[in-house]
Amino acid sequence: MPVPVGVLRLPRGPEGCSRGFSPTSPRFQALLGGDAVTTTAAAQGARAALRQRYLRGLAAARGRPTRFCLRAGVRVDAVFGAADVDAVAFQVDALQTPLGVQAAALLRCADVLAYSFLLD
Amino acid sequence: MQQEAAVPPGTKGGWAAARSQAPSAGPGTERPAATESVLDVGNMNDWQRKSPVDWETYVNKMVKVAAIEKHEYEGWVLTVDPVSASIVLATFLENEKVSISVVLGHAVQKVEILKEGDDEMKQRLSYIFAPEESKAYSPEELEKRKNNLKTWLETNHIPVTEQGESGRTLCVAGVLTIDPPYGPEECSSSNEIILSRVQDLIQGYLEKQQ
């Protein structure tokens, strides 16, 4: 089973109206190997469904007080802002640090182990 | 082992605890990349290597996630982000609130399925992130909304087709899909320019209707 490539590492598609490889392009076919046409459709469907739910989750998180659990047991509270497309950083507002409150900040995803927030 | 799936931020003790637990190294402090590089290319863990089909088998199940630094999280799996392999967990609290915890893919060590979800739980989970208005329409209303929008798009010379099960998804020019209940929030496209234009159009159309 080939490992899907991360979103941002894909070059722009040849047809100019989408990103990523065109699934019919020789390059994409080569990436998958010969057998994978049917399994890919299922994998792609699953990937799309999972990603859509995740993006809806990010939208739901926006503006909510969130606790971030960082490395070495560090916990910080902030208001969730946004995440970038390939999960490099989270943008947060009102980050409570031991030195004071930062109006806006970026948290590197590699430093974050988990975060949680409440929905009502 | 620490248990911390449902730590609601904003509780009194919580804030104080967070302060006292936060030593000098705040976020943004440069840390030597001792254990993992920022981009996990080439040293992805087993969980990140899984395929979307594998991740999908965990959805709607109660799991226990063992993360690095001996953290543990428990909850119902809402989804797994296929890009970062982050697991989104939901825990239902007594006061009808839902606590969402997201464990980032690079921190996941082991995921153990504790319980399967029944149909009721699946339904409940699927409603958590559903856009507000999608809950309120009957199938007939949805059909009517779809046909009205389709007609309106066609009269404005925008190419639109139906696809998916019983044609419930509208597809604009082959690059953008609109799912029920056919509002701006339900448009999906990988092209953000087309997405923004069509969302504006639909927003305008809905405002004009009211």
Check pLDDT > 70 for residue B38: no
DSSP per-residue string spanning chain B:
-EE-TT--TT-HHHHHHHHHH--S--TT------S--SS-TT---HHHHS-HHHHHTTTTEEEEEEEGGGEEEEEEEEEE-TTT-PEEEEEE-TTS-EEEEEE-GGGEEEEEEEEE--HHHHHHHHHHSS-GGGGS--HHHHHHHHHHHHHHHHHTT--EEEESGGG-EEEETTTEEE-TT-SGGGEEES-HHHHHHHHHHHHHHHHHH-
pLDDT at B1: 45
| ipTM of model | 0.71
Query: Across residues A59-82, what is the average pLDDT?
Result: 92
Contact B99 A117 (CB under 8 A): yes
Domain membership flag for residue B97: yes
pLDDT number for residue B35:
42
> Is the residue at A54 inside a domain?
yes
Q: Is B93 inside any structural domain?
A: yes
> Distance (Å, rounded) from C-alpha B123 to C-alpha B101?
19
Q: Which of B128, B150, B171 is the last residue of a domain?
A: B128
Domain final residue pick, B96, B128, B160: B128
Average pLDDT over residues A12-35: 59
In a domain, B25, yes or no: no
The band of B134, judged by pLDDT with boundaries at 50, 70 and 90, is low
Q: Which of A18, A105, A109 sits opposite B175 (nearest CB)?
A: A18
How far, CA to CA in Å, does B181 sit from each of A118, B16, B124, B136, B210?
26, 44, 19, 9, 16
What is the average pLDDT score of chain A? 80
Q: Tens digits of per-residue pLDDT, B106-128?
A: 999 999 999 888 888 888 888 88
Which pLDDT value is given to residue B14? 40
pLDDT at res. A96:
93
Q: Please judge whether B9 and A108 are an interchain contact, meaning their C-beta atoms are less than 8 angstroms apart.
A: no
How many domains does chain A divide into? 2
Please indicate whether, in this complex, the C-beta atoms of A53 and B31 are within 8 angstroms of each other: no
Cβ contact, residue pair B67, A113, below 8 Å: yes
**Residue B20 scores a pLDDT above 60:** no
The reply to whether A95 and A56 lie within a common domain is no
pLDDT band with cut points at 50, 70 and 90 for residue B152: very high
Q: What range defines the domain where residue A76 resides?
A: 62-117
- Which pair of structure tokens corresponds to residue A12? 């722009």
**Residues B53 and B78 placed together within one structural domain of the fold:** yes
- Min Cα distance B196 → chain A (Å) is 14
Q: What is the mean pLDDT of residues A15-35?
A: 60
Distance from CA of A96 to the nearest CA of B (A): 8
Residue A43 with chain B: CB contacts under 8 Å? 51-53
